[in-house]
Chains A and B, each alone.
Chain A
Amino acid sequence: MDNADRQTLDALDAFLDHTFQGRPADSTAIDPGLAESARRFYLSDDAPAPDPMFLRQLREDLMINPIPAAYSGASRWQPPVALPPRVAISPTPILGRGPDPAAVRPRRWWLAIEAAAVAVLFVAIVAGYAALNGGSSNPADQPESRIAASTPESAPFGVGEGFSGGGAEVNLPNINNDSAEVRLRRVTFAPGAAWELPAETTWIASVEDGTLTFEWEAARPTEVRDGIISGDRPVTMRNEGTEGAVALLATVAPADQGAPPPTGVAAEELGGGEAHSLPDDPAFAMFGQIAFNKGQGGDVTDTGRDGLALIAVDSGSLRLRHLAGELDVFRGGTATGQPVLADREVTLTAGDAAVITGGAVLTVANAGDDRLRAVFFTIRADSPFPEPGAIVATPSAMASPIITEDGATPAGRADSAEPVDPAECDVEPRPVELTPLVTGTPEPREGEPGYTPEPVIEREEQLPQGQPADTRTIAAVQSLEREFAACYNAGDLPRVLALMTDEAARELLSDLLEGEPVTAESVTDLLATQAGPLPYEEWIALFPVRDVRVLPDGRVGAIVEWGSPGEPTVVQEANFHIYELVDFQGVGTRILLDEELGSFIPDCQRGDTPQSGQGC
Chain B
Amino acid sequence: MLKPEATGAASPIWLVPRLCDQPGESRERLDLSPTDAELVAHAKRDRRSFGPLYDRYADAVFRFCYRRLGSREAAEDATAQVFTQALAALPRYREGGVFAAWLFSIAGNVVTDAHRRRRVHQPLDAAPDPVDGDPTPEEMAIAGEERTAIMTLLASLPAEQRRAMELRLAGLTGAEVAKTMGKSHRAVKMLQFRAISELRVLMGVTTTDAKEAADGQR
Question: Does B30 sit within 8 A of A, measured CB to CB?
Answer: no
CA distance A215 to B8 in the complex (A): 63
When distances are taken between beta carbons in the complex, the residues of chain B under 8 Å from A337 are 121
Which residues of B, 103-152, contact A by the 8 Å Cβ criterion?
A: 109, 112-113, 116-117, 121-125, 127-133, 148-150
CB distance from B114 to the nearest CB of A (A): 11
Which of A55, A269, A274 is within 8 Å of B127, CB to CB? A274
Contact (Cβ within 8 A) A50 B130: no
A334 interfacial contact with B, CB 8 Å: yes
Shortest distance from the beta carbon of A250 to any chain B beta carbon, whole Å: 14
The reply to whether B203 and A37 contact each other, CB–CB distance below 8 Å, is yes
**Beta-carbon contact of A37 and B54 below 8 Å:** no
CB–CB A63/B50 < 8 A? yes
Q: Which residue of A lies closest to B118 (CB)?
A: A338
The answer to whether B117 and A34 have CB atoms under 8 Å apart is: no
CA distance A413 to B211 in the complex (A): 85
> Residues of B contacting A176 with CB < 8 Å?
130, 132
Cross-chain contact B196 with A38 (CB below 8 angstroms) = yes
Q: Are A22 and B210 in contact (CB under 8 A)?
A: no
CA distance in complex: A22, B171 (Å): 9
Do A47 and B150 have beta carbons less than 8 Å apart? yes
Contact A50 B54 (CB under 8 A): no
**B210–A256 CB distance below 8 A:** no
Question: A326 to B113, alpha carbons, bound, how many Å?
Answer: 9
What are the residues of chain A within 8 A of B28 when measuring CB–CB? 21-23
Once the chains bind, are B123 and A333 in contact (CB under 8 Å)? yes
Contact, CB under 8 Å: A49 / B213: no
B173 and A17 contact, CB distance less than 8 A: yes
**Chain A proximity of B31: nearest CB distance (Å):** 14
Distance to closest chain A CB from B93 (angstroms): 10
Please report which residues of chain B, range 53-102, place their CB below 8 angstroms from some CB of chain A when the two chains form the complex.
Answer: 54-55, 58-59, 62-63, 66-67, 72, 75-76, 79-80, 83-85, 87-92
Cα distance A209–B176 in the bound complex, in angstroms: 50
Smallest distance from the beta carbon of A97 to chain B beta carbons, Å? 40
Is there an interface contact between A179 and B23, defined as CB atoms closer than 8 Å?
Answer: no
With A50-B62, A59-B55 as given contacts, are A335 and B123 in contact (CB-CB < 8 Å)? yes
- B1-45 interface code vs A (CB 8 A; 1 in, 0 out): 000000000000000000101111111100000000000000000
Q: Which residues of A contact B72 (CB under 8 A)?
A: 48, 51
Select A46's contact among B109, B112, B149, B196, beta carbons within 8 Å.
Answer: B149
Q: Which among A36, A177, A333, A339 is the interface contact of B213 at CB below 8 angstroms?
A: A36
CB distance from B164 to the nearest CB of A (A): 10
> Which residue from chain B places its CB closest to the CB of A20 in the assembled complex?
B168
The verdict on B155 contacting chain A, using a C-beta distance below 8 Å, is no
Q: Is the CB of A328 within 8 A of B121?
A: yes
The answer to whether A258 has its CB under 8 Å from any CB of chain B is yes
Q: Which residues of B contact A39 (CB under 8 A)?
A: 213
Residue of A13, A255, A326 with most chain B CB atoms under a 10 A cut-off: A13
Identify which of residues 316-355 in chain A touch chain B, using a CB-to-CB cut-off of 8 Å. Answer: 326, 328, 333-339
The answer to whether A33 and B200 touch (CB under 8 A), given A179-B133, A255-B130, A272-B124, is yes
CB of A47 within 8 A of CB of B205, answer no
Closest B residue to A328 by beta carbon equals B121
How many residues on chain B are close to A (CB under 8 Å)? Answer: 87
Q: Cβ of A36 and Cβ of B205 under 8 Å apart?
A: yes
- Residues from chain B with a CB closer than 8 A to the CB of A70 are 88
Say yes or no: A36-B214 contact (C-beta < 8 A), given A42-B23, A333-B123, A335-B121.
yes
Question: What's the Cα separation between A46 and B83 when bound, in Å?
Answer: 23
A residues less than 8 Å from B84 (CB atoms): 62, 67-68, 71
Contact of B123 among A20, A179, A334 (CB under 8 A): A334
> Closest CB-CB distance, B156 to chain A, in whole Å?
11
Question: Is there an interface contact between B80 and A61, defined as CB atoms closer than 8 Å?
Answer: yes
Q: Let me know if B24 and A22 touch, CB within 8 A.
A: yes
**What is the number of contacts between chain A and chain B, taking CB atoms within 8 Å?**
236
Q: How does the 8 Å CB contact mask read for A41-67 relative to B, with 1 for contact and 0 for none?
A: 111111111110011001101110001
Chain B residue numbers with a CB within 8 Å of A41 are 150, 153, 165, 196, 199, 203
| A63:B130 contact, CB within 8 angstroms | no
Contact of A51 among B63, B76, B165, B197 (CB under 8 A): B76
Instruction: Tell me whether A358 and B109 are in contact (CB under 8 A).
Output: yes
Least Cβ–Cβ distance between B88 and chain A, in angstroms: 3
Within 8 A of B (CB), among A247-294: 254-256, 258, 269, 272-274, 276-277, 280
Q: Is the C-beta of A433 less than 8 angstroms from some C-beta in chain B?
A: no
- Expressed in whole angstroms, the Cα–Cα distance for A326 and B196 within the complex equals 36
Chain B residues near A51 (CB-CB < 8 A): 72, 76
Decide if A16 is an interface residue (CB 8 Å cutoff).
yes
User: Which of A9, A46, A179 sits near B131, CB closer than 8 Å?
Assistant: A179
Answer whether residue A311 sits at the interface, using C-beta atoms and an 8 A cutoff.
no
Smallest Cβ-Cβ distance to B185: which chain A residue: A13
Chain A 8-22 per-residue mask, 1 if CB under 8 angstroms from chain B, else 0? 111011001100111
Interface: A40 (CB within 8 A): yes
* A22 and B132 within 8 A (CB): no
Residues of the A chain whose Cβ atoms lie less than 8 Å from the Cβ of B123: 333-335
Asked if A32 contacts B76 (CB within 8 A), the reply is no
Chain A residues with CB below 8 A from B117, complex form: 326, 338-339
Contact of A276 among B23, B85, B109 (CB under 8 A): B109
Say whether, besides A50-B59, A59-B55, A274-B130, A44 and B149 are in contact (CB < 8 Å): yes
Chain B residues with CB under 8 Å of A607's CB are: none
Give residues 164-218 of B contacting A (CB, 8 Å).
165, 168-169, 171-174, 182, 185-186, 188-190, 192-193, 196-197, 199-200, 203, 205-207, 209-211, 213-214, 217
**Which of B116, B159, B203 neighbours the largest number of chain A CB atoms within 10 Å of its CB?**
B116
Q: List 25 A-B contacts (CB under 8 A).
A: A8-B193, A12-B192, A13-B185, A16-B168, A17-B174, A22-B25, A23-B28, A32-B211, A33-B209, A37-B203, A38-B199, A49-B62, A49-B63, A58-B58, A58-B80, A62-B50, A62-B51, A63-B48, A67-B84, A71-B89, A176-B132, A255-B129, A258-B124, A274-B130, A334-B124
B interface residue numbers (CB < 8 A to A):
19, 21-28, 47-48, 50-51, 54-55, 58-59, 62-63, 66-67, 72, 75-76, 79-80, 83-85, 87-92, 109, 112-113, 116-117, 121-125, 127-133, 148-150, 153, 159-160, 165, 168-169, 171-174, 182, 185-186, 188-190, 192-193, 196-197, 199-200, 203, 205-207, 209-211, 213-214, 217
